[in-house]
A and B are shown apart, each in its own frame.
Chain A
Amino acid sequence: MNAVVEEHHDDHHDHGPAKGITRWLYTTNHKDIGTLYLWFSFAMFFVGGICALGIRAELFQPGLQIVQPELFNQLTTMHGLIMVFGAVMPAFVGLANWLVPMMIGAPDMALPRMNNYSFWILPFAFGMLISTFFMEGGAPNYGWTFYAPLSTEYAPPSVTFFIFAVHLMGISSIMGSINVIVTILNMRAPGMTLMQMPLFVWTWLITAYLLIAVMPVLAGVVTMMLMDIHFGTAFFSAAGGGDPVLFQHVFWFFGHPEVYIMILPAFGVVSAIIPTFARKKLFGYDSMVYATASIAFLSFIVWAHHMFTVGIPLAGELYFMYATMVIAVPTGVKVFNWVATMWQGSMTFETPMLFAIAFVILFTIGGFSGLMLSIVPADFQYHDTYFVVAHFHYVLVPGSIFSIMAAVYYWLPKWTGNMYDETLGKTHFWLSFIGVNVTFFPQHFIGLAGMPRRIPDYALQFADWNMISSCGAFLFGFSQLLFLFIILKCIRGGQKATERVWDGAKGLEWTIPSPAPYHTFSTPPKDMAEAHG
């Protein structure tokens, strides 16, 4: 450990980045690594998006036209895995890398060398995962939830590569989280108390704890699969005395906290953006912190709401139903606080704010459909239908992903030193907003009408809404090329950004020049009044 720490101290000479590719391979600079994470995530967003468009193209009409069922199953599985582990999670880690040190007045992350490893593991993990498309038997086809024994006894041979890829992703996330926690707890500028930290830092601290608590459980469950497949154990095989339902318990013990891992940092982003453009302090900072912590705690005790239909005793169903509903309370506190922050503010609607407001509205719709799903007797009807698909896409796409887009627009001037093109940004927002709703709102209807998820063909009565949904998906997908264009254009030039960038912005990152110099806060800042809005 000492070696790492010492190297970090040597790094303090004032030098810029190394030249060429080695800059990126060997970098231990939090800003470089943040950039790497963000670009990696963006690339995966497009790969996962292509899978999704394959799915939506097939579902444009009933019948089998474009992809056969075997490939269809691989597409749904890979879409889910790549979006969750390759797009959303690395994007938030990238944001943490860029922002956490700047927000707490630290010169870098606590463990820069480990930071480099956590990133460079990812391209290998996903290279391996994506290569399974070209293997005999094809890519994983058992859904992103990979229920055993479908993913053990009946899986294509590529499952071993899948397991190894999940191990690597897990190691990467765990190292990243340890880094975030140690940075936040040890490297805050002198005088910055925990309750003075910006909410993005708070939400990431809590997310990092969730990650180190549940990623090992995910590693455990895939290890059990590996042993069942190759070493003759029978964790999940009933014939050998194991139990397939056990898989679901262990998986969802990881899986439910995982969905909060994907949304808590989004809460932090939105809590930074709304006060800036409402030109008011965030309403109820303390309650935001406590709400985040209670959501994190509750996320460990509700997992079986994903398994209402496997045959749980009545008492269990009732417990998991009410426990799940309780999560809506702290979530409601957050939504209330965001709305109260906007209330009577002098609002302006730059692109980050548009994405943030859309987040609040559309995430709340996803929360409501979640509440509907938490009602046991209703879930017997909705489970494994498109209603569930609509629910989690509302919380994840206009939820997590909109927050990531909002964050990119909000901090891009600080990262590049240039303003992005506001007109194009707003165009991107409206195209995405319309695309998302046209894609996912109709899925509520076809779900309630009974269309099962994960099928390549469907009954005629679902045809109209599916066609509309597919149109929305293509609109949303292609709009993201505009996003790519806007970012590239902003990197290459544009109106110069000021230090503060947004006149209502609060936080230490806005006290340093734009673009942020390669090394910042080599001497810690003094004025903690700036710390959070």
Chain B
Amino acid sequence: MLEAQGKTRGVVKLTAIVVGMFAFGFMLVPLYDIVCEVTGFNGKTAGAYELSGKETVDESRLVTVQFLTNRNANMPWSFRPAIRSVKVIPGELNEANFFVRNETESTMVGKAIPSVTPFKAADFLHKTECFCFESQKLEKGEELNMPLRFIVDREIPKDVDRLTLSYTLYDITSSTQLAVR
């Protein structure tokens, strides 16, 4: 009898570990996002930045910001930056424009995902306004000029004098309302 109890208790405990580890697998998802956001690993940038009005500029240096646009495998839109690169003063608000055109014969929805290299600069690029905060729905042949407003934080490490902000444009039509028309 004692042995039977021991077994039952063993099975219950081990099953609890199994359930716990299954849950842990899913917890890795938010955990990963938090780690990336806190540390800027992976070049992930944060959401919209609120201007506090107390930003000061550091006129002693210039940082080059390069813009890259990519289209994911099957994305048929054209997508390019108005300028390829700009020298900015840390702390100052800047504007850059991006251009998209739906080259297909149907209405589609696209979404751009940003990424910054070097990774350690990701936390110092603040976007106050970005087309990447929402998705874009374009009729056939429709085109759009999309603004980006950003500040390079004056605290950005001294050895970073050049950073790249890259956008990858994805076709997300199938996961939006349009798909169920």
Contacts and interface: CB of A to CB of B under 8 A. Distances in A.
Interface of A: 1-2, 5, 110-111, 174, 177-178, 181-182, 185-187, 212-221, 224, 232, 234-235, 237-241, 243, 245-246, 249-250, 253, 311-313, 316
B72 A250 contact: no
Q: How large is the interface on B (under 10, 10 to 19, 20 to 34, 35 or more residues)?
A: 35 or more
Contacts of A212: 14, 17-18, 21
Given A187-B3, A213-B21, A238 B170 contact: yes
Nearest to B25: A220
If over half of B's interface residues share one DSSP class (helix, strand or loop), that class is named, otherwise mixed; here it is helix
Nearest to B120: A313
A201 B55 CA distance: 65
B39 A313 contact: yes
6 smallest beta-carbon distances between A and B, as pairs: A220-B25, A239-B170, A216-B22, A216-B21, A217-B25, A182-B10
Contacts, number: 105
Contact of B26 (A220, A243, A313): A220
Contact of B41 (A182, A239, A313): A313
Contacts of A217: 21-22, 24-25, 28
Nearest to B169: A239
A232 B3 contact: no
19 contacts: A1-B11, A111-B11, A174-B18, A181-B14, A182-B10, A214-B21, A215-B18, A216-B24, A217-B22, A220-B24, A224-B29, A237-B170, A239-B171, A239-B172, A249-B28, A249-B32, A250-B29, A313-B120, A316-B41
Contacts of A219: 22, 25
B42 A250 contact: no
A94 to B, nearest CB: 21
B101 interface: no
A215 B89 CA distance: 51
B131 interface: no
Contacts of B21: 212-217
Interface in B49-99: 72
B22 A181 contact: no
Contact of A5 (B8, B119, B168, B171): B8
Interface centre among B22, B111, B175, by most chain A C-beta atoms within 10 angstroms, is B22
A249 B25 CA distance: 10
B142 to A, nearest CB: 20
B140 interface: no
Contacts of B39: 313
B48 to A, nearest CB: 15
B29 A246 contact: yes
B111 A239 contact: yes
A186 B11 contact: no
Contacts of B104: none
B22 A313 contact: no
B157 interface: no
B17 A213 contact: yes
Nearest to B170: A239
Interface in B26-53: 26, 28-29, 32-33, 36, 39, 41-43
Nearest to A110: B7
B8 A181 contact: no
B112 to A, nearest CB: 9
B41 A185 contact: no
Contacts of A178: 10-11, 14-15, 18
Contact of A185 (B10, B29, B42): B10
A224 B43 CA distance: 23
Contacts of B10: 110, 178, 181-182, 185-186
A2 B42 CA distance: 51
Contacts of B172: 239-240
Interface string B163-174: 000001011100
Interface centre among B21, B41, B43, by most chain A C-beta atoms within 10 angstroms, is B21
Contacts of B113: 238-239, 241
A313 B111 CA distance: 27
Interface centre among B10, B26, B32, B42, by most chain A C-beta atoms within 10 angstroms, is B10
Contacts of B42: 243, 245, 311
A221 B25 contact: yes
A462 B70 CA distance: 35
Contacts of A238: 72, 113, 168, 170
A214 B4 CA distance: 27
A29 B120 CA distance: 59
